[in-house]
Structure formats: structure tokens, C-alpha cells
Chain A
Amino acid sequence: MGRPKRTLGQPSTSTAKVRVNIGVSAGPSNLGSSSLLQSTQPKQKKGASSSAVLTEPELDEMVISMVKVVLNLSVNKHPIKKQALVKHALAGNGRAFAKVIERATNELAHVYGYKLVETERNKKYIVVSTITSGSVLDLTEKYRRTYTLLYLILGYIFMKSGDIPEQGLWDYLAKLHITNDRKHAYFGDVRKLVTQTFIKQAYLVRTKKVVEGMNEDRIFIGWGVRAEHELSKKDILESMCKLLGRPSICYMAQHTAAYGPMRNEDDEDDVVEPTPK
């Protein structure tokens, strides 16, 4: 196989408007504070006892801490564990969590346009942007490339109406001249992105399924919880259809998944009969 052509590496940006949601990036990589790790500051135990009722200033302090910790821990896009938030932002005070997280959620939305989403039943959180980028200028080049690849993958899974066997994904990418065995000129380490990065970031999930007639379980790849929250199915559908050159109604199952049912069966009764003259 020859060198992958640059244009093939970026099909969707040329033929379809790839509206990649920024996701989170305003937990700026905190080199500033980390650089003071050398200091011998003892770990400060919060004075407020966990059993006493919190005063408003104490609560407010905790909300500020929570916002900061959420931002800092969201930079790598891995789901954040509730225990980590309680430990770092609340100094172990689990009782205050409900109140603090509610306020912090509001502040994140109001100030930054970030939505704090609970995944996995009160145990993990992800930060999702409610603002889609104004233009590609809002994103770095590297980010755009990485998430263009993701978009292509999520689009393919969506059009296939669900989980796909991992090998099927590699075959699809190979058709786009995106190989997984070496550094791709445009996308970088594709193998690492698909098998590690996107999984850790909850964009994709890998599951093992028992397949009829096969000895081993097969690995399937599907949309992760972050993808569900960050991406609009309508946008994905329309982008993929632009690539395929056919209107989205040609793909009924996917159209329904994105837009909802075309017509409710109950509506049949609402058809107006012409009144007889």
C-alpha cells in the first residue's frame, strides 16, 4: 500500500461540515500550580468538621474548590470519579457533596458553558460543552485531526446501527487509507487512539460478545457515554449522508434513531376525511 494520500485522510472536512464539539478544554493543563510541587507544604486538613452544619462562606469555598477540581480533572477527558471529587474538593466531606455539586454544576454552565453529566449512577462524571465551536479557529490543529478521526468512526458505527466488530472497523478505516500499524501522517497513532485513548475518554466502548459459531468471544466497538452526550445524532447522520451522497431518509433506521419516528401509528386516526358534498 502506498503512502496514504493527504486528501483521503481528511474526507469529512472537505465534503461535510464537521461540527466537532469542543468538549472540554478549559481545565487548562495546570503547569502553573504543579510547578510548586517541590514546596514542602503540609497537606492542609480543612478546619470545618464534616458533622457540623456548613456555613454559607464554607459552602461557597467548597463550590469554588469543586469547580476548580472538576476543571483540572477534566482535561484528559477521562470520567471523573465521585470519590476523587469528594477527596480533593471537599476534603473527604461526603455529606456536603449533593449541595456542592448542584451549585458547581450551575456555575460551570453559567461561566464556561460546560455541562457536568453524571454517568454510571452517581459514581462518575464527565464534562461536556454545551457550546459547539464557533469555527475551526476555536480548536487546535492537532485536536481537529484527532476528533475528525473519531467522527469518522462514530459515524460509521451509527450508520451500522450499533456495535460493530472491531475488525470491521479496521476494514472500514483501511478503505479510507487509514492504517493502524504505523503512525498515520494526518491522524497520528491511530491504533492507540482507537484501542486506548477514545475508550478511556468514554467516546467508544469495547465489549466482548459471544458469537454463534465462533470459539472465542469477538470484540465489538460501540458509542460510549461521552459520545452519546456530546454528539448530535442528526449532525452525524447528515454528515455521513453527505459523504455517501444520498439523503438521510434513504437510511430509515438511522433516520429514526436521529429524528424520531416519522409518523406515529396513532396518528392514522387523525387523518381528516373529506366531507361529502
Chain B
Amino acid sequence: MPTAMPYTDVHRAFAQAIAHHGTMSAKQAYKALLAIYAKYHDGEEIPSEDDIPEVVASINGKLYRYDQKICFVHYEPADTDFYVFCNLVESQIDRIQNYYSESETTLFRLVLREMATSEEHKLKPIMCLNLTGEIQGKQLSKVRAEQLLDQWEKMGYFVQLGGMWHFGPKVIGEFDRYLTTNYPEQMRMCKLCKESVFYGVRCDKCPESFHRDCMKKYLRRLTNCPGCKNLWSTPV
């Protein structure tokens, strides 16, 4: 398209859909966009998957003002792309909400803590539930904790892989800075792209982690670990 898209109900409906879900896979988002175009777009064009970034960019142009953004997250553990509705700033005003109780938000923080400090950033389900024991003040039942974890999984905060809970695309989109600030020892940065790496590939001779995609590109030209310079031997 030669000129920028005007901001229409297509954008509004799409923004609402992503915000409602919290997180949508790229495929899910595309299907939703097709129906939204059919309903709200003035004209006969059918969007392709490549049109999504432009729609998202238009929406982000408006959301920027409220410290919100639809982030694109390539989630390596599942090799899937996601669009995540993120709140970027954590100031006084952003803290006002009436949806979760204090105990519930505490549980969320505790799960983040446990996950961040665990060796490979993954937790057994029972570990998450047991964290209810650490909550001061109003207690949370295990049943309620299970419901919350289920909700949070659906929203993309966490993902279950191989029976273990992992950071999901929404945590990667919204909590990167929070985690690297609070758990600097345990959170890794990929030296190749300078971004946080949550689930990457490890060198077997030094503690460095890299994004799988970053390493794939790098290994086309070079064979040494970018960190310790020894021969890279981990499969990518």
C-alpha cells in the first residue's frame, strides 16, 4: 500500500481482540483479522499474514500514549510467533486495578520469583501451588491458585511444556525489565543481540546463553562460542 492505512474499526476491533485474549498466536490473530476485515473493512481486499505488522504498527502508534503496545514475540520453546498486548510501564497510576486481590498478585510475583531463580526457568506444577503457603495476610486456597494459574496460562503469562511451567510470551513481553532488574544474577542476556534470553542454547564450556535463531545465524559464518571462544558444540 502506498500510503499509511487510515485508522478504522478494523484497528479497533483487532486491538480489542488481542487485549481480550492477552496473547494470540500469529495464526489465531490472522484468522481473527480475516473476519474483522470482512466485517469492518471498506473494500474487497482480503488481508494476508504479512499485513498484520502494518495493522499492529498503526495500533501501536495510538497505544504508545498510554504506555501500551502490541508486542511481537517469537517464542522459541514452542517455535511459535505470538502477538501480546503489553503494558510497558509500572508507575503509580498503572497499579490501580480491581480485578485481582493483593494475595493473587502476590502469588503471581512469587511464581515469577521461583521461575526466575530456578536453574532452567521452569517449575513443576506442584511448586507453583505450594507457593500459596508463602502468602502473608489473606490466604489463597489451592483451588483458587489452580484457577489463577489456568487463567494466566490462557492469557499467555505461562506455558506448560513437557509437564513443566515456563515463562510465557506475555511475561517475555511485559516483565523483561522487571525480571532483569530483580533477578540480575539469574536472567541471561544474549551477547549477539543484546536482548534477554529466556530459553536459549547454552555453551557447554561457559555459562553463556544465546537465542537459538541468533546462534543459527552466527554459526553460518563462525564456529566458536561468542562468549568463551572455544569451539561451539551444542546442537542448535
Q: Which of A's residues lie within 8 Å of B, judged by CB?
A: 22, 25-38, 41, 43-44, 64-65, 67-69, 71-73, 75-76, 78, 88-89, 107, 110-113, 129, 131, 133-135, 137-140, 142-143
Contact = CB atoms under 8 A, between A and B. Distances in A.
Contact of B32 (A37, A41, A135): A135
Ranked nearest first, the 4 interchain pairs of A and B with the lowest CB-CB distance are: A113-B12, A26-B19, A135-B35, A134-B36
Contacts of B17: 22, 133-134, 137-139
B19 A75 contact: no
Interface residues on B, range: 35 or more
Interface string B151-172: 0101101000000000000000
A126 to B, nearest CB: 14
Given A28-B87, A31-B157, A140-B21, 11 more contacts: A25-B20, A30-B95, A31-B108, A32-B90, A35-B175, A37-B102, A72-B96, A113-B15, A131-B40, A133-B16, A137-B28
Contacts of A32: 86-87, 90, 94, 174-175, 178
Contacts of B98: 72-73, 75-76, 78
A109 to B, nearest CB: 9
Contact of B97 (A44, A72, A89, A129): A72
A189 to B, nearest CB: 12
A109 B95 CA distance: 23
B93 A88 contact: yes
7 contacts: A26-B15, A26-B85, A32-B94, A37-B106, A110-B62, A137-B28, A140-B20
Contacts of B144: none
A111 B91 CA distance: 22
Interface of B: 7, 9, 12-17, 19-22, 28, 31-33, 35-40, 62-63, 65-68, 85-87, 89-100, 102, 105-106, 108-109, 112, 152, 154-155, 157, 174-175, 178
Contacts of A33: 87, 89-91, 94-95, 97
A22 B20 contact: yes
Contacts of A69: 93, 96
A50 to B, nearest CB: 18
A76 B99 contact: yes
B105 A31 contact: yes
Contact of B92 (A30, A43, A138): A43
B157 to A, nearest CB: 7
A41 B80 CA distance: 38
Nearest to B8: A113
Contacts of B109: 35, 38
A142 B13 CA distance: 19
B178 A129 contact: no
Contact of B155 (A29, A36, A88, A129): A29
A26 B59 CA distance: 13
Nearest to A78: B98
A35 B90 CA distance: 9
A43 B105 CA distance: 19
Contacts of B87: 28, 30, 32-33
Contact of A36 (B16, B28, B86, B90): B90
Contacts of A64: 65-66
B16 A113 contact: yes
Nearest to B59: A111
Contacts of A133: 13, 16-17
Given A134-B13, A134-B17, A68 B39 contact: no
A196 B198 CA distance: 41
A28 to B, nearest CB: 6
Contact of B16 (A34, A72, A112): A112
Given A35-B112, A38-B109, A131-B9, A29 B99 contact: yes
Given A32-B175, A76-B98, A41 B22 contact: no
Contacts of B155: 29
Nearest to A29: B99
Given A32-B87, A33-B90, A25 B16 contact: yes
B20 A134 contact: no
A75 B15 CA distance: 15
A27 B207 CA distance: 40
Contact of B96 (A31, A73, A135, A142): A73
A44 to B, nearest CB: 5
Contacts of B12: 111-113, 131
A111 B62 contact: yes
